[in-house]
């Protein structure tokens, strides 16, 4: 594989990260590993571009991880909450109870 192949894979990775296409990221990671193994001997300009693209993708990966962690935290907080019925009795509502969360 050539440095052009790796550059193309890094661009595909960037697009997958921006689109939240995590299934594609898994496949791209395998191909990128193979392309990296074939990288020795690449020209300096290509190496500079690859470094820049890899750094940008790293920032996107980190942002995606923060977003996933934040969403997970929000979902965990919404897993249950308390409410009161028409008789003033307090009750817990679980978000996984069909129909309950939608009515509230």
Residues in CB range of 53: below 8 A, 6 or more apart? 7, 10, 11, 14
pLDDT of residue 104: 42
Number of domains in the chain: 1
- Which residue range is the domain that position 41 belongs to? 3-77
- Domain-embedded: residue 58: yes
Mean pLDDT for the chain? 83
Q: Does 99 reside within a domain?
A: no
* Distance between CA atoms of residues 45 and 51, nearest Å: 10
Q: Using the predicted structure, report yes or no on whether residue 102 has a pLDDT greater than 50.
A: no
Residue 86 lies in a domain: no
Residue 17 counted as domain residue: yes
Residue 57 belongs to a domain: yes
Note whether residue 32 is domain-resident.
Answer: yes
pLDDT in tens, 52-87: 999 999 999 999 999 999 988 887 776 666 778 888
């Amino acid at each position: 594989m050539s440095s052009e192949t790796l550059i193309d894979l890094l661009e595909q990775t960037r697009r997958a990260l921006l689109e939240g296409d995590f299934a594609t990221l898994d496949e791209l990671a395998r191909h990128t590993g193979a392309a990296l193994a074939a990288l020795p001997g690449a020209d300096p300009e290509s190496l500079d571009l690859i470094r820049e693209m890899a750094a940008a993708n790293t920032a996107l990966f980190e942002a995606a991880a923060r977003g996933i962690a934040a969403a997970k935290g929000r979902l965990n907080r919404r897993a249950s909450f308390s409410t009161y019925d028409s008789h003033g009795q307090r009750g817990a509502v679980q978000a996984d109870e069909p129909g309950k969360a939608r009515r509230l």
